[in-house]
């Protein structure tokens, strides 16, 4: 059930391959396995056990159900201390967690995976702070009546996570645990290793058995079984819009409330009066970080006529110089491989389509990056060149559909009204960015853009105190911030009669 795996650093570690239920690694009841692939070489790292969609999902849900009353009634300060303890264990294990995450996902260790791991410790601390502060309201409508509200956990929350930020997206769903729920987590099939490894820290921190359970498996079988399960009271999902729709249907079986953090095609508007150099840098960061596998990535850039040519040239130059492609172990590399061969091919086909539709390749394009194509070790990795497709029109498929890779499309606009119309002409509504020195224009856009998040003169910054989530087909519900708490609790109204007689 464990396998010795060699990390990029040369050390080896014991990777659990079973399921994590009731604080123990246990064998799955099925014989199926899922292979985790090293995206930078295409080689198999390990095969994890797949949960049986009936027997093991039931086992994990039962464990969470049994643990629920005890965890719900655990004093708030103890919940807080356990979360803080876990955060410090994450910090103690940052090196190994970052290496496992990198191995499993292809994220560059130094410039990407390590930040993710440090961020999950911050998320756990942030929720530790809420664990003993969540409160309701009270009203005294007259001298004979006292009323108040209680914020109470929902029960068992099923958490379904995507491949792009395996540990980080898992950590955002710890709101569930901080607010007194118990959980069953399902990792993405491409990235099962890090979450399974993290589970041992949860036990070490002292969380009671059954509060945090982890199962591996495909979405079609295990994810679907969770969405339909009558013993699960809520699904918190991060992933694609198409799967979000399937989950919403399946969850109707017991009217499960949902948080759906889905896809996006977020606009990035650059006005002629913007701080040019900063706009170039943020625009690049907003799409090329994490190999473009960012749900809120500002992947649709529109630039005002007067600076259009100059901006595209400067952006291409900056990305070429800064976003160095290479193996995840190289500390200077910002662009590692995409998650899978399927994604690599899908992204390439979008680049192809964009060229066919009439885009000009301002940077990158089809084929492997040169240094990768020449590397015996990495040429079978899932690399894509950071690519800028210029002269895009808003109706091109590459300007409308989520590519989820290091591909930025750039088009032009002349007026604010035109820019706003293009920004809102999308089925999605997750992120949005505007670059301008005109403060009225900036705040007007923040108010008028159809999106859950708006960045003014930046892109994809993250503050844990702010809610994260989308509108339209980017999903519903919010994670993080105080708003996130209400997505994992029910509010109950209590009436106390202090003496009214009938
Ligand atoms: P995906 O939708 O393919 O898979 C996400 C998870 O859902 C996986 O664990 C998968 O196994 C599971 N799943 C698949 N089919 C299922 C089904 N029928 N029932 C239940 N579960 C099922 O997404 P992905 O490819 O892993 O991730 C990329 C997508 O995630 C992108 O669209 C991206 O925008 C989105 N995303 C959104 C956010 C956000 O916060 N809004 C954050 C990260 C990623
Ligand atoms: Mn992998």
Residue 364 belongs to a domain with what CATH number?
3.40.309.10
| Structural domain contains residue 481 | no
Q: Is the pLDDT of residue 135 over 90?
A: no
486 within 8 A of 464, measured Cβ to Cβ:
no
Same domain, 413 and 359: yes
| Structural domain contains residue 445 | yes
Same domain, 189 and 276: no
Same domain, 283 and 319: yes
Domain final position from 227, 257, 287: 257
Q: What percent of the chain has pLDDT over 90?
A: 99
Between the CA of 403 and the centroid of ligand 1 the distance, in Å, is 14
Closest ligand, as measured to the CA of 38 = 2
Structural domains in the chain (count): 2
- Residue 252: count other Cβ atoms within 10 Å of its Cβ: 11
Closest ligand, as measured to the CA of 232 = 1
Same domain, 67 and 214: yes
The mean pLDDT value for 342-352 works out to 98
Reported as a single tens digit per residue, the pLDDT across 4-46 is: 999 989 999 999 999 999 999 999 999 999 999 999 999 999 9
Domain final position from 200, 229, 257: 257
| Structural domain contains residue 498 | no
Q: Whose CA is nearest to atom 32 of ligand 1?
A: 240
The whole-angstrom separation of Cα 189 and Cα 473 is 23
Same domain, 175 and 203: yes
161 within ligand 1 shell (Cβ under 6 A): yes
| Structural domain contains residue 478 | no
Average pLDDT of the chain to the nearest whole number: 98
Which residues lie closer than 8 Å to 182 by C-beta, 6 or more apart? Answer: 64, 65, 67, 68, 71, 155, 156, 157, 210, 211, 212
Reported as a single tens digit per residue, the pLDDT across 419-435 is: 999 999 999 999 999 99
Which of 240, 292, 346, 347 to mutate for ligand 1's pocket (most ligand atoms within 8 Å of CB)?
240
Closest ligand, as measured to the CA of 160 = 1
Reported as a single tens digit per residue, the pLDDT across 252-305 is: 999 999 999 999 999 999 999 999 999 999 999 999 999 999 999 999 999 999
Quick one: which atom of ligand 1 is closest to the CA of 404? Answer: 31
Residue numbers of the domain that contains 360: 267-466
The mean pLDDT value for 54-69 works out to 98
Between the CA of 33 and the centroid of ligand 2 the distance, in Å, is 14
| Structural domain contains residue 11 | yes
Could you give phi then psi for residue 135, rounded to 5 degrees? -150, 160
Same domain, 169 and 286: no
Reported as a single tens digit per residue, the pLDDT across 216-230 is: 999 999 999 999 999
The whole-angstrom separation of Cα 436 and Cα 440 is 10
239 within ligand 1 shell (Cβ under 6 A): yes
462 within ligand 1 shell (Cβ under 6 A): no
Between the CA of 294 and the centroid of ligand 1 the distance, in Å, is 12
Same domain, 298 and 234: no
Residues with CB under 5 A from ligand 2 (ion): 36-37, 104
Which residues lie closer than 8 Å to 114 by C-beta, 6 or more apart? Answer: 94, 98
Domain final position from 228, 257, 286: 257
The mean pLDDT value for 55-82 works out to 98
Q: Whose CA is nearest to atom 26 of ligand 1?
A: 162
Same domain, 7 and 113: yes
Reported as a single tens digit per residue, the pLDDT across 142-198 is: 999 999 999 999 999 999 999 999 999 999 999 999 999 999 999 999 999 999 999
Orientation of helix 76-92 relative to helix 193-205, angle to 10°: 130
Between the CA of 137 and the centroid of ligand 1 the distance, in Å, is 36
pLDDT of residue 346: 98
The mean pLDDT value for 387-403 works out to 98
Q: How confident is the model at residue 499 (pLDDT cuts 50, 70, 90)?
A: very high
Same domain, 85 and 210: yes
429 within ligand 1 shell (Cβ under 6 A): no
The mean pLDDT value for 455-464 works out to 98
Q: Could you give the 3-state DSSP secondary structure of residue 184?
A: strand
155 within ligand 1 shell (Cβ under 6 A): no
Same domain, 409 and 302: yes
The whole-angstrom separation of Cα 202 and Cα 475 is 29
Same domain, 273 and 180: no
Between the CA of 264 and the centroid of ligand 2 the distance, in Å, is 23
Quick one: which atom of ligand 1 is closest to the CA of 430? Answer: 41
Considering all CA atoms of the chain, what is the largest pairwise distance in Å, rounded to the nearest integer? 87
pLDDT of residue 31: 95
Between the CA of 211 and the centroid of ligand 2 the distance, in Å, is 27
| Structural domain contains residue 291 | yes
The whole-angstrom separation of Cα 399 and Cα 416 is 19
Q: Is the pLDDT of residue 214 over 90?
A: yes
DSSP string spanning 273-306? TS-HHHHHHHHHHHHHGGGG--TT---EEEEEGG
Reported as a single tens digit per residue, the pLDDT across 95-116 is: 999 999 999 999 999 999 999 9
| Structural domain contains residue 490 | no
pLDDT of residue 337: 98
Q: Is the pLDDT of residue 468 over 90?
A: yes
306: nearest Cα among 278, 351, 271: 271
Q: Is 261 a catalytic residue?
A: yes
| Structural domain contains residue 151 | yes
95, 101, 189, 261: the active-site residue: 261
123 within 8 A of 174, measured Cβ to Cβ:
yes
- Residue 198: count other Cβ atoms within 10 Å of its Cβ: 27
Q: Is the pLDDT of residue 416 over 90?
A: yes
Orientation of helix 114-131 relative to helix 76-92, angle to 10°: 170
CATH number at residue 54: 3.40.605.10
The alpha-helical segments, DSSP class H, found in 414-463 are: 416-424, 439-448
Same domain, 195 and 287: no
Quick one: which atom of ligand 1 is closest to the CA of 172? Answer: 40
45: nearest Cα among 34, 61, 57: 34
Quick one: which atom of ligand 1 is closest to the CA of 241? Answer: 32
Q: Whose CA is nearest to atom 6 of ligand 1?
A: 162
Q: Hey, what's the torsion of the CAs at 173, 175, 176, 177, to 10 degrees?
A: 110
Q: Is the pLDDT of residue 467 over 90?
A: yes
Closest ligand, as measured to the CA of 106 = 2
pLDDT of residue 134: 82
């Amino acid at each position: 059930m464990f396998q010795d795996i060699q990390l990029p650093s040369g050390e080896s570690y014991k990777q659990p391959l079973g399921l994590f239920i009731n604080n123990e690694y246990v064998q799955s009841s099925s014989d199926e396995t899922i292979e985790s692939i090293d995206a930078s070489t295409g080689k198999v790292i390990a095969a994890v056990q797949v949960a049986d969609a009936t027997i093991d999902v039931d086992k994990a849900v039962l464990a969470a159900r049994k643990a629920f009353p005890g965890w719900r009634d655990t004093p708030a300060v103890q919940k807080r201390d356990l979360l803080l303890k876990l955060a410090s264990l994450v910090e103690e294990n940052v090196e190994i967690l970052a290496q496992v995450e990198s191995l499993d996902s292809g994220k560059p260790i130094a410039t990407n995976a390590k930040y993710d791991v440090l961020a999950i410790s911050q998320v756990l601390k942030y929720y530790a702070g809420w664990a003993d502060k969540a409160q309701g309201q009270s009203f005294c409508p007259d001298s004979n009546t006292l009323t108040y509200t209680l914020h109470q956990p929902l029960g068992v929350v099923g958490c379904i996570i995507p491949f792009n930020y395996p540990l980080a997206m898992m950590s955002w769903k710890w709101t569930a645990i901080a607010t007194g729920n118990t959980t069953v987590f399902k990792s993405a099939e491409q990235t099962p290793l890090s979450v399974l490894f993290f589970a041992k820290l949860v036990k070490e921190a002292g969380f009671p058995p059954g509060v945090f359970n982890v199962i591996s498996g495909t979405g079609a079988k295990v994810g679907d079984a969770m969405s339909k399960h009558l013993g699960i009271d809520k699904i918190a999902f991060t992933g694609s819009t198409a799967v979000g729709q399937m989950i919403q249907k399946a969850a109707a079986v017991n009217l499960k409330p949902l948080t759906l953090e889905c896809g996006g095609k977020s606009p990035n508007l650059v006005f002629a009066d913007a701080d040019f150099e900063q706009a170039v840098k943020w625009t690049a960061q907003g799409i090329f970080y994490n190999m473009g596998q960012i749900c809120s990535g500002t992947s649709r850039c529109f630039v005002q006529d007067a600076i259009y040519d100059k901006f595209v040239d400067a952006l291409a130059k900056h990305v070429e110089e800064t976003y160095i492609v290479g193996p995840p172990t190289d500390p200077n590399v910002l662009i590692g491989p995409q998650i899978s061969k399927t994604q690599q091919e899908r992204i390439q086909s979008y680049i192809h389509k964009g060229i066919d539709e009439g885009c000009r390749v301002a940077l990158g394009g089809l084929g492997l990056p040169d240094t990768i194509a020449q590397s015996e070790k990495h040429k079978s990795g899932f690399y894509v060149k950071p690519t800028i497709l210029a002269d895009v029109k808003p109706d091109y498929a590459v300007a409308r559909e989520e590519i989820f890779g290091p591909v930025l499309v750039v088009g032009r606009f002349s007026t604010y009204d035109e820019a706003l119309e293009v920004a809102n002409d999308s089925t999605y509504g997750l992120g949005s960015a505007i670059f301008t020195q005109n403060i009225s224009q900036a705040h007007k856009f923040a108010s008028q853009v159809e999106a859950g998040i708006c960045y003014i003169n930046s892109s994809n910054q993250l503050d844990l105190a702010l809610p994260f989530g989308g509108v339209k087909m980017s999903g519903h519900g919010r994670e993080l911030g105080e708003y996130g708490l209400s997505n994992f609790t029910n509010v109950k109204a209590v009436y106390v009669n202090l003496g009214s007689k009938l």
